[in-house]
Chains A and B, each alone.
Chain A
Amino acid sequence: QKEVEQNSGPLSVPEGAIASLNCTYSDRGSQSFFWYRQYSGKSPELIMFIYSNGDKEDGRFTAQLNKASQYVSLLIRDSQPSDSATYLCAVPLGGNEKLTFGTGTRLTIIP
């Protein structure tokens, strides 16, 4: 079982719709969760993090965390072509500073 698991996609979403990206993790003790975006040919950049159960909103992005189910998701509202990228879920497994990344979900927004 992978420690941080994501559907690789590709996920295609029409422009203006909601894109939903999912991630599961193996360490029940994990306390913080991070979403990175990686454009093709570029390096990852942090877009959201969440520590508490429930939802966290930042503009068009919402991170959702359910620790009981070991599940974290990222919703992108009013999707734009510029949101087309690979989205990486990352979790510091074992309670330390070292992030373990999922393999990423490739998202394409269709104009």
Chain B
Amino acid sequence: DVKVTQSSRYLVKRTGEKVFLECVQDMDHENMFWYRQDPGLGLRLIYFSYDVKMKEKGDIPEGYSVSREKKERFSLILESASTNQTSMYLCASSLMGGELFFGEGSRLTVL
């Protein structure tokens, strides 16, 4: 079974802090994604990576950056957390096409 592991299930941070969300997949997938999910807004793509060191902006990249130094690991970075970044963050991977495998999610609260 494909396993996508997100390092933290719950985080509480203060405004202005730097936040790292880590994601690791074990199926040698080329593509990795970071989404955030908010009530009424659904899943929105933040960043996408199709290869090591390659990244593309999604629909809402502002305030975020990403890093993919190894194929299996994709990190989401909030340089200076703000309260409007309080959300559920979902990492996903795929080999190709639209079959995404999601991690369990990281619920971030920014105070």
Using a CB–CB cutoff of 8 Å, the interface residues on chain A facing chain B are 8, 32, 34, 36, 42-46, 49, 88, 90, 92, 97-104
Q: Is the CB of A97 within 8 A of B94?
A: yes
- B residues less than 8 Å from A100 (CB atoms): 45, 59
Distance between A92 CB and nearest chain B CB, rounded to angstroms: 6
Q: Is the CB of A43 within 8 A of B105?
A: yes
Q: Mark B48-85, 1 if CB is under 8 A from A, else 0.
A: 10100000101100000000000000000000000000
* Given A32-B97, A34-B99, A43-B90, 7 other A-B residues pairs in contact with their CB atoms under 8 A: A88-B42, A92-B98, A97-B98, A99-B100, A100-B59, A101-B35, A103-B42
- A residues less than 8 Å from B99 (CB atoms): 34, 46, 49
- A residues less than 8 Å from B103 (CB atoms): 43
Q: Is the CB of A98 within 8 A of B58?
A: yes
What number of residue pairs across chains A and B have CB atoms under 8 A from each other?
55
- B residues less than 8 Å from A92 (CB atoms): 97-98
- B residues less than 8 Å from A44 (CB atoms): 43, 90, 100, 102
Q: Mark B9-35, 1 if CB is under 8 A from A, else 0.
A: 000000000000000000000010101
B interface bracket (residues with beta carbon within 8 Å of A): 20 to 34
Q: How far is the CA of A34 from the CA of B56 in the complex (A)?
A: 22
Among A43, A102, A104, which residue has the most Cβ atoms of chain B within 10 A?
A43
A97-B48 contact given A32-B98, A49-B98, CB 8 Å threshold: yes
Q: Is the CB of A98 within 8 A of B56?
A: yes
